[in-house]
Amino acid sequence: MLRRTQRALTRLMAWCVLLSVCALGQSGKDDPHAQETRLVVLEHLWNEAQVGRDANALANMIGDKFVNTEWDGEVSERGKFLADIADPAFKPTVLNIQDVKVNLFHDTAVVTGIYRTKGTYQGKPYDHVGRFTDTWVYDNDKWQCVASHTSLLKK
């Protein structure tokens, strides 16, 4: 019962954030502060999608030529990245970000910060702290992540 309530609250929060993103989209592409806020919200939605193992939500946030470089050096393209998110052996329980900075360059943004993720993978627990760099491109009236890189600080 408690787990069901937590899921419902998480979904409600995700919908509220999504509505906020939509409202920010109405602010116009030319407002840098609104775009920075929108990108930070997208980063938080990304985290929620990973914890919820929602590959469909992530598919809507990443470009067709998306490239992911993991903390251990593994490089994957869009299809493998999405398959890994949906993999039942991957069970993240926490994914938080902090010290997020957005650098805008016309229709491109580089978002950096620190992440912490906990969970299990193939039954083995993990607890990672690292840095991330995500590159976003504004195309067809929406931001899409085209590259993501993580570097481990603490395992």
Do the strands 62-69 and 142-154 form a parallel or antiparallel pair, or are they unpaired? parallel
pLDDT tens-digit series, residues 48-86: 999 999 999 999 999 999 999 998 899 999 999 999 999
pLDDT at site 30: 73
Dihedral sign computed on CA atoms, order 12, 43, 98, 88: positive
Output the DSSP codes for 3-50. Answer: HHHHHHHHHHHHHHHHHHHHHHHTT-TT-HHHHHHHHHHHHHHHHHHH
Is the pLDDT score of 9 beyond 50? no
What number does CATH give the domain 2-154? 3.10.450.50
Dihedral sign computed on CA atoms, order 152, 92, 138, 41: negative
pLDDT tens-digit series, residues 23-38: 444 445 678 899 999 9
Dihedral sign computed on CA atoms, order 111, 62, 20, 90: negative
pLDDT tens-digit series, residues 113-143: 999 999 999 999 999 999 999 999 999 999 9
Burial readout 50-89 (b: 16 or more C-beta within 10 A, e: otherwise) = bbbbbbebbeebbbeebbbebbeeeebebeebbebbeeee
Domain boundaries along the sequence of the chain: 2-154
User: Could you tell me the pTM of the whole model?
Assistant: 0.80
